[in-house]
């Protein structure tokens, strides 16, 4: 029994030592980012913090999402790692299995589609300087390994036309524009084009018709390639 307890204590201690979880108060205020977990992620980016956690770690920090009501599938997450480097960071997300998860936004009263993800995703992160100087910090997360797609319901494609389309995701971007935080999601459409969706983090909603500057940023990113050149990254 004593040996069993020792092994159990060692296992728990090793798990705690392995996890690196920045404190919750690193998050930007809810007045800036409505969803507290997304606010936490923005805070990690601002502070360039390393991260090495699993879904249980995050649910312990954010118990309000234990019922599955959050916009992130914590229960499916086995590991999330952010490793800062000299010229950016690498982010790895590992899931229990292939993910089919309702689109984590509300349009017209419900979640109109599915997020489809492979069990492992790896992103290369870089800071980016847009041509429009009204932007503050911008981080690009280029998908290097794995598959991530959004399949919107057919009626929404018809209703909103070119403003919304199914997408094979190549890029996520977190951007501050005129003191407001946004997520941009860019990728290839079934027709072979590029589309960039915009999500307003302050109001937690999709921006169907984003400001011209955000549309222009999306166009810039479409031509930036899978890796941002050193001339486009911020000075170290």
Residue-level pLDDT at 206: 81
Copy the structure tokens of residue 224: 């930036």
Domain range annotation of the chain: 81-226
29 closest CA partner among 54, 51, 48, 46: 46
When pLDDT is averaged across residues 106-130 and rounded to a whole number, the result is 83
Q: How confident is the model at residue 107 (pLDDT cuts 50, 70, 90)?
A: low
Question: Using the 8-state DSSP alphabet, how is residue 235 labeled?
Answer: P
pTM of this prediction?
Answer: 0.80
Q: pLDDT digits over 32-43, tens only?
A: 999 999 999 999
Matching residue, tokens 């890796």: 227
End-to-end CA distance of the chain: 54
Task: Show Cβ contacts of residue 172 under 8 Å, excluding neighbours closer than 6 positions.
Answer: 123, 140, 141, 143, 183, 184, 185, 186
142 closest CA partner among 68, 31, 228, 205: 228
Residue-level pLDDT at 224: 64
Q: Per-residue pLDDT for 58 more than 60?
A: yes
Spatial distance between the Cα atoms of 124 and 88, rounded to a whole number of angstroms: 8
Helix (H, G, I), strand (E, B) or coil at 78: strand
Residue-level pLDDT at 106: 60
Q: pLDDT digits over 169-201, tens only?
A: 999 999 999 999 999 988 887 777 788 889 999
């Amino acid at each position: 029994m004593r040996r069993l307890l020792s092994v159990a204590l060692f296992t728990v201690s090793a798990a705690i030592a392995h996890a690196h979880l920045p404190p919750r108060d690193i998050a930007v205020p809810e007045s800036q980012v409505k969803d507290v977990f997304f606010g936490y992620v923005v805070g990690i980016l601002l502070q360039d913090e390393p991260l090495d956690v699993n879904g249980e770690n995050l649910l312990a920090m954010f118990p309000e999402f234990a019922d599955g009501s959050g916009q992130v599938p914590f229960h499916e997450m086995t590991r999330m790692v952010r490793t800062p480097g000299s010229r950016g960071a690498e982010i790895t997300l590992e899931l229990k299995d292939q993910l089919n998860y309702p689109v984590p936004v509300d349009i017209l009263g419900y979640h109109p589609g599915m997020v489809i993800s492979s069990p492992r995703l790896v992103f290369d992160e870089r800071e980016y300087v847009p041509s429009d100087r009204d932007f503050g910090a911008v981080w690009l997360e280029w998908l290097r390994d794995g598959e991530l797609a959004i399949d919107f319901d057919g009626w929404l494609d018809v209703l909103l036309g070119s403003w919304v389309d199914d997408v094979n995701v190549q890029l996520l971007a977190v951007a501050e524009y005129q003191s407001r935080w946004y997520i941009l999601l860019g990728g290839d459409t079934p027709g072979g084009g590029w589309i960039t969706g915009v999500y307003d983090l302050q109001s937690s909603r999709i921006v169907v018709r984003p400001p011209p500057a955000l549309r222009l940023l999306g166009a810039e990113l479409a031509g930036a390639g899978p890796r941002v050149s050193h001339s486009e990254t911020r000075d170290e």
